[in-house]
Every structure is written in C-alpha cells, then in structure tokens.
Structure 1
Amino acid sequence: MKTIFINGRFFTSNPYQPYADTMIVEKGKITWIGEGSCLETTEGNVMNLQGKRVLPGFVDAHMHAFMLAETLTQIACTPPEVNSIAEMLCKISQRRAEQKEYQWILGWGFDEGKVKEKRLPTRWELDRICPDVPVVITRSCAHVCIVNSLALELAGIDNNTPNPDGGTIDRNKDGELTGVLREDAAMSLVTALKPPASFEHNCKLMADLSVELSRYGITSVTEMMSSHGFYELFHAARQKGFRQKTVLYYLWDAIVKNPEMPAVYLDTDQPIFIGGVKLFADGSITGKTAWVSPSYLGSNEEFGLSITSREAMNDACSYASKMGLQVSVHAMGEQAIQLTASVFSEKNSWLKNGPSFRLEHASLSSQEVLKLASSSNIALLPQPIFFYAEIEGYLSNLGIERTRLSYPIKSMLEKKVPVCLSSDAPATAWAVPHNPFVGLKAAVTRKAYDGTDIGKEERINIEEAIILYTKSAAEICRLPSTGMLAPGYCADFIVLDRDILEVPEDEIDLLSVDETFIDGEMVYQHRKV
C-alpha cells in the first residue's frame, strides 16, 4: 500500500531537487517526491505532516554503536551527572551497593577539564571507595582509562611492568602506578579480563540502543571497532528489533589473526555488512596521545604516540584491495595524518562505489594534506562535536590558535575533498554524545559549548552541514540508496519539532525529532499516545 506524505517541508539533500512538499512511499522505497500541485490523484494512505520540516535520516559514519550500547548501562561520568571526582566516587559507591557481590564497575565519559579538581582520579581514590571489585573508568576520548589496584593486580601490572608498544602505563614521580592506562595496548591488559556478557544480553543492548538512536533521528550507523563475531551479533540483534542499517569496520589486528570473511558478509546491498578494516595511527588530542607536531602546549618533548607503521598500512591496503573493502585509519595529530595521507596517496583506488580510503578525524589537517586528499580521493571524517564538547582539553593541549585551525571543514569542501560529519559516540565528553544536532551546531557556529570562538573562517551553512550528515555520509560508507530523499531511495527520514533551516544557529542543538521512519515504517514517535 502506498503512503502519501503531504504538507511537509522536505529538505532532501538531493542537489538536483533540494526541496519538496509531498512524497510517496511504497514497500519501503520512495517512489515519487516533489510539489503536491504536480501530483495526479493517486490512491493510498495519506499522512499530513502539518507543515513540519522533514530531513533524510542521519547517517553516523563514524561511531561505536556497540560501545555506545554498553555505556547506557554504565556510570555516566560526565556533566551534568558528574562535576567533580568526589561526585564520581559517590556514584561508584552507590553502584557497588546496588550490584552483586563480585561484578566489575564500569564508567565512561570522564574529562578532567570538566571537573572541579582539573585532573584525572587515581587508583588510590578508587581503592578507598571500592577495593574489592575491579573498577574501570574510561576517559571521554576512549583512549585512556583509570583503574583501581585490584584491576592492576588481576592484570599482573606492577611498578616494574614496562610500557607496551603503542601504550603507556602512567607512574608518579616516585615510580608508583597511578592507575592511568593510555591507549588500547595498555588498557586491554585490564579490559581483556572483564567477564564477557552473554550473546543474548548483547543482542538486547543493541535492540534498546536502536530506540535511542531513532529518538535522535539516526537511521544508519557504523561500528568502527568491530571484530570477529560482530557481524553475527548485529545480525541477531536485527531479529530482536535493532533497525538501523549498519556498516562494520573490523580492526586490522583481528584480521591479521583470522583473515577469512564470508562473501555474504561483504554485500553492501544487505542492511548489515562489513565495509572495511581499521587501524590506529595515534590516539586522542585531549588524552595527549595523538601524534602531533609541534609538541603539545607547554612542553617541547610531548608529541603523543605513534601506534601503527607504514608497513601495517600497506598490508591492510593489499588485503582490502583483494577483498573489496575500505581501509580506515584513525589519525588526529599532524604526524599521524601526514603518514596516513602519504600511504594512501601512493595507492590506486580499487573501489567503484565509494572511496577506498578513510582518514578518520583528520583533526589537525594541513592545507597540503587537504590537497592530497582531494587528488587521491581520500575521505576525511571530522567530528566537530569534539572541539564543541572538549574545548577545555583542546585549549590546554593545543592553545587557541591551533584549536581554531582544527577540523577545517569549510576548506575541505572548498578543495572538493570527500568529507562527512559524524559523532564518534560515545567517545566524547557530552551527556548525549550521539546527538547529531550538537555536531551540526558546532559545524555551523564554530563555537564551543561555552561560547569560545573556534575559527569562524571555517563555518559552513546549515544546508551543507545536513548534507554532510546524510548524503555525504552514506556515500562515504557505501550505503546504497541511502542519505537522500529521492525516487528509488530508502524511505529513511525524520520529522522535526521545529524548522532547522529557520531557527537561530545557537538553538540548533535544542531541536528534537518528532518522528523517525526507517524503510517507510515509523520506528519512533515523540510523546506516543
């Protein structure tokens, strides 16, 4: 049965037909869109949109969907819930009193720039509140965690344990462990010991997440730290109610251990597929593990960490070319970005339905790198929510001038670089890190949440920002017939409470979604009757 959506204010993300007021949907696809006055009488269900703004569903081209689902059950260590280490310790104490005798306590989103003490907690503080079960508090960037003494003991980490390659185990001036672990090489020494949840439990987490994503108009997602078993998990979660189209990016280390992938897992016409392999060239700016040059503010010797090698990137490219996959590399600092762009530019693209190369974050990209990305068809995936939400860390680690040069999205567009917006949720210091409206506001205003000017020269307009979060994101992820409202495309769209093209820029983050549709079916409605 056809459904005719009338009296809408459609922004389609389609450059050939950006606006419309009527759309026809049948069997999950858009069959017609345009001005209702041009439409001949047709039978079908009629839905009156009451003059509300309609957009394509958001495509989050860089997020960690499973990690985000896990955080919904963990202690939120971000404002407004937590504004000091003391408040965080109180939350941990409460959780310990509520849970079973021996369960790990997990928290996420801590940012020392946002708490009263302006520092990371220590293992001794965690021990005072909770000495008898392991505690792991993940920093907002997800590249640093703080653990208690029991967790260190279980991992066999002591004062004599050397730093692993690509990671750091922090010590104080007396050589004692502080409980701070930086980058996965160090963090995984502890986190790998966490008892795994059941498959059924994880499927339910994903089904619950689907509702939360729909609430914010997100109709397609990525999982950027997948490994073997993730395809099966997402496929099973879909049977339990997970609705979002999903692209999985498998960690290169996992592929090296087991390179086999069934061909059906790579089929981009399916609602869930493996889209690429992922490596890390460095860490995070606010965690001071991004591989930068010049050094971090206030030091002539702190340049962060180089995590992968040119050889590993070359091997990943060879494998991806053979398998028909993308290569994705996390790179935030200048040195990491330059290395990654250099490796990519030496290769010939092998994919026809999207970019072969993805450079994730591209935080401190030079104009030279932008030219290289344009000429070599290297997709750049910046997250403006970072400087919006984590301005304290950017200013303390980079300074204001360098911060204003970060994430040069307007320059990327001007140089015709393949680019899109995304959230990297949950890896940012914001209470709702997956909220697309925050990223849109940051890209349009170039202001942090506290009003700090982050380089107005790189502002883009709201229409450009929406296209980057829909059409461009789908193209970079190789999601077919997704990201635009056009004939033949999936009927993934959202209805807003206010008109995003008319509200003041400073109010973009206050917008909410009234209804979300995936494949023509309403999957979310605000204030259901």
Structure 2
Amino acid sequence: MNEVTTFLNGKIFTANPKQPYASAMVVQGGKIKWIGESNELEKMEGNLVDLHGQRVLPGLIDAHMHPLFLAGAANQIACTPPLVYSIADLQEQIRLVRESHTRDNWIEGWGYDEGKLLEGRAPNRWDLDQVSPDVPVVITRTCTHIISVNSKALELAGITKDTPDPQGGKIDRDLNGEPTGVLLENAKDLILKKMPKKTIEENAAMLAELSPVLLSHGITGITELMGLREPIDYFDMYHLASEKGLKQRSVLYYIWDELKNNPIMNKEKLIRENQIHIGGVKLFSDGSVSGQTAWVNPPFLGDGGNYGIQTTTSEELLAAAEAAKQHDIQLVVHAMGEQAIDLIVDTFYGTEGWISDGPSIRIEHAAMPTAKAIKRASEKGIAFVSQPIFIFAEIESYLKNLGHERTKQTYPFKSMLQEGIKLAFSSDAPATAWADPVNPFVGMKSAVTRHAYDGTDTGQDQKLDIETVITLYTREAQEITRIPSVGQLAEGYYADFIILNQDIFNIPSERIDQIKVLHTYIGGNLVYSLDEYLAAKG
C-alpha cells in the first residue's frame, strides 16, 4: 500500500486556501505526500501519470442526500420530463408497468411536480385507479414529503373518511371528506409502513450498483439522511454495500424517531476514520416549499392562508440534542420555511455547542431564513446545508407558491456567507424534479448563474463565483460532514480527486452542467473511468 504515484502537468484546484492551485502531486499510501508545481519536483517517484493539462478538483462531497432512495428510484417510474409531462403520461407509464406486475407487487414512481404537469395538480386516487384499480400504486412527489396513492393502497393501509390526520401530517380530502389519495408529511407513513420491505442483501446490492453512478459525477463522499434501525439497521446495510462494491466514504444520520426510546449507539459505529460511520441525529421541522408544507411566514400564495406544517417542537429538538451530545455527533434538522428555521435558531440560541471540530447543529435546506435568523445562527455556529438545484429544477412551483420576488429571496447564499455562516452544498437526491437529480454540476450552474433551467431569474444579488461554489462542495462540505482528511488536496490528505473533460474555470457559466468527469480517484486509486463506464453501459 506504499506504492508511489506522481501526477504531472495538471490544472489542480486544491480547495486549500494556503495553496489554491498546483500542477503536480505525489501520492503514497493513499495520501498526498507532496503537492506543488511540476517544475518544483526534485525527482519523479514511482508511477507517472500525465494529466495533460486537464482540470483537477478534490473529490466532491454530497453533504445531504438519500442514496438508498436514489438507488431505488432507478427501478421506479421516473415522473419527470422527458418521460412524464402530464397525468395522462403518468397513467400510461403505470399502465405499462401494471401489465407486467402481479397483484402482490406495488407500483412505485418518483419525482412528479404538479408545476410541471399539464394539469397543474397532483395525481389523485381516481387518476391512479383508472389504470390500476387492483394493484397498489404509490407515486412520490419530487420533495419526498408528499405521496399520491390509489384506492387499493388506501385500503391496504386502512385509510378511510374517518381516519384522523396524524400529528405533523395531513390526509388531503375532497369536499365530502373523502381522502383524495394525496398524503402530506407524516400522513404518508401510514402507507409506507404497509409497503413490502426489501432485504438487507437487496438494498446493499442497489447501493453498490449506485456507486459508479455517483463516481461518474465525481462524488467521493456521501451522506445518508434517513438512517433507520428497523427493520434493517442502515449501518449494517452500508457495510454490506461496501463489501459489494460501494466505494464512497459514507456518513449516516439516524432519524430521531428511531433513537428516542433507545438513543444509545455503539461507539465503534461512530469512528469517523472508517469508511462507514454514524455522524448525527436527524429531525424534521417542516416540509417543502414546492409542496406548500414548509412552515412559512408570510403564508403561501392563495386564498387559504396556508402557513405550512410544523413537524417538531422545541422539546423534541432539545431531547434529540442531548442524545447527540452524549455521542459527540451532530443534530441535523430539516427546515425550509422562516418559522421552521426560527424554531431551531431560537431553541438553541442560549445554548453552547458540544463538538469541538465542527458544527454541533446543522440546518438542512435553509431555504428561507430571515436576516435575523442568519445573524443569530452565525453567532451560535449553526451550519447550513443547502441545495441550489431546487430553485433551478422546481421553478414553476416556487413561482406559484411564493411569487417572483419572494422566490429570488430564497436560498440567500451570498448573504449567508457574508454573515459568516458555515455553508455546504448538496443535492438532496432524489428529492428534486430533475431527471438526473444527483448531478452536482447542475447545482453549481444554478449557484453561479442564479437562473432556473428555463432562464427565470432566481436572484442575481445572491449568485456566487465558481471557486466559492466548488469549495462548498469540497472543503466546506468536509468541515460540516467531518469526514477526516478529505475535501482538499493538501499534504497529509487523502488523494480523493477528479479529472474533468472541460476546465470549469474557463467555460461559460451556462455550460457548467455539461461537464463530464473523465476519472475519479479515491485514496489514490482509480475507481472510475468515463470510457470504461460507457462501455459497460453498452
């Protein structure tokens, strides 16, 4: 493992503020032994790799995603363009799947956004019943906070006109009080608990198959933000996936509901130097902007005075924080709306953090923080993890729910950084209405241009330069996820890096999403090559 490789003649962006650029590096034992300019090398050591003037970046870290959901989505109906533009298109896709399904199998789909559908509304039970009256159907909205199901699924879950809304959830109903099949936030769990579960072997195999897809996007560090203990412990599942071929360094965050009755965790699972480890406890403070379940103020546009849904309390936050503190791991809270973010900041404003080498508390998404919340969060060292792909891909729903001016004020990245917020970028894949939701270069384009995919201005005063954006996917993402010795190319750090087919610093911003990764290295080992990947796909 002490083999030496020298990489020469590259355009290396290191993400190391002390030495941001280089053209050569020497790698030994999986780590960078030396980095600098090619003409500074005293001797050529070991194997030589000529980078031919290509752009090199540190391996990208997706600080908030759902790999198991993403892997599963590959086997579901993709309810996004270019496959689905309407409920009628969705019905046709369900019909095709139904023809090959038995009655014991559930039909699943992901990614619809009513803003992109011709009908301008969510599919309901009656839409789905037309093509599948006898086989249960579950179609997950892009945000993953809302599902649409058919009558068979409602029947299997025992949901009727008399079923009360669960705490933190809502069963959508028609004028007669009948469930429409649209279930919001915690109400969707009434269905999900009834669905057949895959075995640990099946899930691990799916994650292993996802690994090269992530490597093709240059992603060398991943996070699992929906960690469970039952019926399968995700730690064991990810370990098995690594044995089957999962290459990424992986941090797991366990849902608080899975831990609250027994928050004790095995210390071996918390060792951050291991490829798979537990990094935090996760709660939800609200829902999504695009699904009108974020806990906002002022309310969403419309006549109903809809302020969204509050899904946790200060008491729950404090209890989860105490469990996180006992294990020296993070408290991670989903919050998009103003009120949801305020709840977190106000709850912890008078308390001290417990982690010495990173943020103790993270706010995930942070779509609509007030100026006061940004200032107070910065004062307390609360980090934000955001997804610039959201307003890029879901612009129709943002405009419908918030209007143009308020949409441009969402995700105020520049204001966050100017106030001193620790910020990382990520995808939340597959929870966005994009055919390739995990592609980091789409997020980069969004943050640099502050234009949606259709050209809509999403806030020019909040756009960032490409160097900053890359740093938010690398060094800053490392400082927030706390994966050791990655995120920058510097002496003593792991040689996790990617080689691009275009120089991301010298192409028009509008073309950033067209960039391809030629090669991906983890620990100095070549783990992905574009040519081999394309050949394997046929």
Per the normalisation by structure 2, the TM-score is 0.97
In structure 2, the residue matched to 1:167 is 169
Does the residue aligned with 2:531 lie in a helix, a strand or coil? coil
Q: CA deviation at 1:21?
A: 0.6
In structure 2, the residue matched to 1:99 is 101
Q: CA deviation at 1:89?
A: 1.0
In structure 1, the residue matched to 2:293 is 289
Kept in 1: contact 2:59–2:498 (CA 8 A)? yes
**Amino acid in the other structure paired with 1:158:** T
Kept in 2: contact 1:341–1:359 (CA 8 A)? no
Q: CA deviation at 1:300?
A: 5.4
Equivalent residue in structure 2 for 1:269, among 269, 273, 283: 273
**Amino acid in the other structure paired with 1:187:** K
The Cα offsets for residues 4-57 of structure 1, whole Å up to 9 and x where unpaired, read as 111111011111111111011112111111101111113311111111100011
The Cα offsets for residues 207-250 of structure 1, whole Å up to 9 and x where unpaired, read as 00101100100000000010110001001110100010011110
In structure 1, the residue matched to 2:241 is 237
In structure 1, the residue matched to 2:207 is 206
Q: CA deviation at 1:101?
A: 4.3
**Amino acid in the other structure paired with 2:84:** V
Matched, 1:22 2:19: no
In structure 1, the residue matched to 2:308 is 304
Q: CA deviation at 1:174?
A: 2.3
In structure 2, the residue matched to 1:10 is 12
In structure 2, the residue matched to 1:137 is 139
Aligned 1:9-408 pairs, distance under 5 A: 9-183=11-185, 185-228=186-229, 229-299=233-303, 301-408=305-412
Matched, 1:472 2:473: no
Does the residue aligned with 1:150 lie in a helix, a strand or coil? helix
Matched, 1:427 2:428: no
Kept in 1: contact 2:113–2:433 (CA 8 A)? yes
Q: CA deviation at 1:98?
A: 2.3
Does the residue aligned with 2:458 lie in a helix, a strand or coil? coil
Does the residue aligned with 1:178 lie in a helix, a strand or coil? strand
In structure 2, the residue matched to 1:506 is 510
The Cα offsets for residues 462-519 of structure 1, whole Å up to 9 and x where unpaired, read as 0000000111001100111010011111111100010000010000011111111111
| Structure 2 portions without partners, runs of 5+ | none
Q: Within 1, Cα distance between the matches of 2:189 and 2:59?
A: 35
**Amino acid in the other structure paired with 1:182:** L
Please give the root-mean-square deviation of Cα atoms over the aligned residues, in Å: 1.0
Q: Within 1, Cα distance between the matches of 2:261 and 2:196?
A: 22
Q: CA deviation at 1:187?
A: 0.5
**Amino acid in the other structure paired with 2:114:** E
Give the share of equivalent positions with the same residue, in percent.
Answer: 51
Per the normalisation by structure 1, the TM-score is 0.99
Q: Within 2, Cα distance between the matches of 1:30 and 1:161?
A: 59
Kept in 2: contact 1:277–1:327 (CA 8 A)? yes
Number of residue pairs matched?
528
| Structure 1 portions without partners, runs of 5+ | none
Q: Within 1, Cα distance between the matches of 2:315 and 2:324?
A: 14
Q: Within 2, Cα distance between the matches of 1:227 and 1:486?
A: 35
Q: CA deviation at 1:524?
A: 1.0
Aligned 1:439-458 pairs, distance under 5 A: 439-458=443-462
**Amino acid in the other structure paired with 1:348:** E
Does the residue aligned with 2:240 lie in a helix, a strand or coil? helix
- List 4+ stretches of structure 1 deviating above 3 A: none
Q: CA deviation at 1:199?
A: 1.4
Does the residue aligned with 2:490 lie in a helix, a strand or coil? coil
Does the residue aligned with 1:113 lie in a helix, a strand or coil? coil
**Amino acid in the other structure paired with 1:83:** Y
Does the residue aligned with 1:112 lie in a helix, a strand or coil? coil
Matched, 1:496 2:497: no
